[in-house]
Amino acid sequence: MYRLIVLFVFLSISQSALSDGCKRLVFNKYCLGGNVAELEKEYTPARKRVTGKKTMLAYRSGKDIVVIQGFLGKVMAVTKISKPGSWLNYQNLKGRLAKIHGPGVDESYFPDYADSQSSKATSINLGEGRAKHLWKKEGWKIILLWSDRDSVLLYYIDEGLDKKYRSSNPEGL
C-alpha cells in the first residue's frame, strides 16, 4: 500500500511538472523548459550566477554537482558532473542511459593509436580523445561526455531554448 501511495504522489508531481512547459523531468527534480525562479524557490542553490538573460544555478547531489543553465527564465540545460573521470564511470552511466533511452549514437573521437580500452582512457587523460554518446529525443537531447581525467559530464538539453540562446549569443556558452 505504501509503495502505491508513493508511486501516486510521484506520478502526480511528474504530471504537474510536465504540464508546466516541462519537456523532461531530469533526476526527478529539474524540469527542462521549466521555470528557473520556481526551481530556485523550491531548491536553494549552493551557487548562483546571472549574466544578462542567462542564469546558472549549482546544486550538490551527493558527490556529484548538478548545474542548471537557464535562459529567458526557463531551464535550458541540466548538467551532472560526476567524479572521477574514468572508463568505468562513463560505461556505467552509458549502460544505465541505454536501458532507458535505447542505444543512442556514439560520437567518440580517439587518435589512431587508441585501439584498446586502456589506450582510449590514456588518450582522454592526455587531452587527445573523448568518449561521447548522444540520445536525441523530441525537442531535447542527452549528451554523455568524458573528455578529461577529472569528470564525466551528463547533459540534458532543451533544444529549442538552446537554439534561441545560440542565435542570440554567437560567441557560445
Query: pTM of the predicted model, to two decimals?
Result: 0.85
Nearest to 84 by CA among 75, 93, 96: 93
- Identify the pLDDT of residue 20: 67
DSSP-assigned beta bridge partners for residue 17: none
pLDDT tens per residue, range 6-55? 334 444 444 444 446 899 999 999 999 999 999 999 999 999 999 999 99
Backbone angles phi, psi at 3, to 5 degrees: -60, -40
Class of the CATH-defined domain 2-168? alpha beta
What's the farthest any 2 CA atoms get from each other in the chain?
57
Q: What is the pLDDT along the chain (173 residues), one digit of tens a residue?
A: 444 443 344 444 444 444 468 999 999 999 999 999 999 999 999 999 999 999 999 999 999 999 999 999 999 999 999 999 999 999 999 999 999 999 999 999 999 999 999 999 999 999 999 999 999 999 999 999 999 989 999 999 999 999 999 998 766 55
One-letter amino acid at 29 equals K
DSSP-assigned beta bridge partners for residue 74: 35, 71
Q: How many CB atoms lie within 10 A of CB 120?
A: 22
| Antiparallel, parallel or unpaired: β 140-146 and 152-158 | antiparallel
Measured CA to CA, the distance from residue 55 to residue 21 in angstroms comes to: 18
- Identify the pLDDT of residue 16: 42
Whether the CB-CB separation of 82 and 154 falls below 8 Å is answered with yes
Nearest to 65 by CA among 57, 53, 76: 57
- Identify the pLDDT of residue 170: 67
